[in-house]
Amino acid sequence: MRILITNDDGINAPGLRILTEAAMKLGDNEIWVVAPAEECSAMSHRITLRTKIPVKEVSFPLEVAKAYSVGGTPADCVKVALAYLMKDAKPDVIFSGMNWGYNSGFDIIYSGTVGAAMEGILNGIPSFAFSNAAYISNDLAIAKLPEIIEELLKKEPDLTGIWNVNIPGCPVEECRGILWDRKPAAVQYYQDNYSTEPAEEGVLLTVKGIPIENGIPKGTDIEALENDYISIGRVTNMIKGIFGKGGGQ
């Protein structure tokens, strides 16, 4: 199997290495890593136009077939890989992540991790997005990612959407299991909080996402994560899926 791995946190992000290590445990597959040169969170499905995109082969800390940094967005990375770097033999699957911070609820719409996976689906390639709790341990992700990936790959390929995986930051022994078919919550997990400072004209704003504490809808991805479950769900049409009108599971 030929596997393309990308992310939105950049070529040097720890989560990219963790996801690649998990993919390597699947067997003797050909793994390519094509990731942004810099951190590109919240890029959604943005692509680069009218600007040159630097592409450079790089040394990666794991023994993969090839690794490249791309001076563009996560979606650019998939486009560049499919149309240029891997055009002679495209990947069988695309893994995006592992993101630093959940991609759940409304935040799915903003996610560069999800945007990269969606670009894969648009090109007819089964694609999967993986995210982990920010500021907290990666131990659960390291322990569970290989079996999660194996289970996902057993499913019948479905090009109507991606599988979106979120892993809580609880200790391995405190994880309560996996909840499948979680619907994206109709709220943001990271609630917008703006601080201000004066400027010569107007003000300067700095946004910080504060994790939600109240009003979490039942049966959703955020509820699963808040209760120490791994959340896995389908994301088809992101807007309609979140509001329960035509998909999202």
- For the cut 90, the answer to whether the pLDDT of residue 242 exceeds it is no
Report yes or no on 249 lying in a domain: no
Domain count, the chain: 1
Report yes or no on 54 lying in a domain: yes
Long-range contacts of 79-86 (CB under 8 A, 24+ apart): 79/47, 79/119, 80/34, 80/53, 80/55, 81/4, 81/6, 81/32, 81/34, 82/123, 82/125, 84/55, 85/32, 85/34, 85/55, 86/2, 86/4, 86/32
Report yes or no on 46 lying in a domain: yes
pTM above threshold 0.85 = yes
Report yes or no on 160 lying in a domain: yes
CB distance 74 to 7 below 8 Å: yes
Provide the token pair at 249. 């599971």
The whole-angstrom separation of Cα 243 and Cα 31 is 36
Report yes or no on 220 lying in a domain: yes
CATH of the domain at 125: 3.40.1210.10
Nearest one of 211, 111, 214 to 168, comparing CA atoms: 211
Q: How, if at all, do strands 230-235 and 162-167 pair?
A: antiparallel
pLDDT tens digit sequence for 92-149: 999 999 999 999 999 999 999 999 999 999 999 999 999 999 888 899 999 999 999 9
**Per-residue confidence (pLDDT) for residue 239, from 0 to 100:** 44
**Per-residue confidence (pLDDT) for residue 158, from 0 to 100:** 85
Provide the token pair at 23. 């993919």
The pLDDT > 90 percentage for the chain reads 85
Report yes or no on 206 lying in a domain: yes
Give the DSSP letter of residue 185. P
Q: How, if at all, do strands 162-167 and 93-100 pair?
A: unpaired
Query: Tell me, what amino acid is at 223?
Result: E
The whole-angstrom separation of Cα 26 and Cα 32 is 14
Report yes or no on 247 lying in a domain: no
Report yes or no on 248 lying in a domain: no
What is the domain extent for residue 109?
2-242
Nearest one of 26, 22, 21, 19 to 2, comparing CA atoms: 26
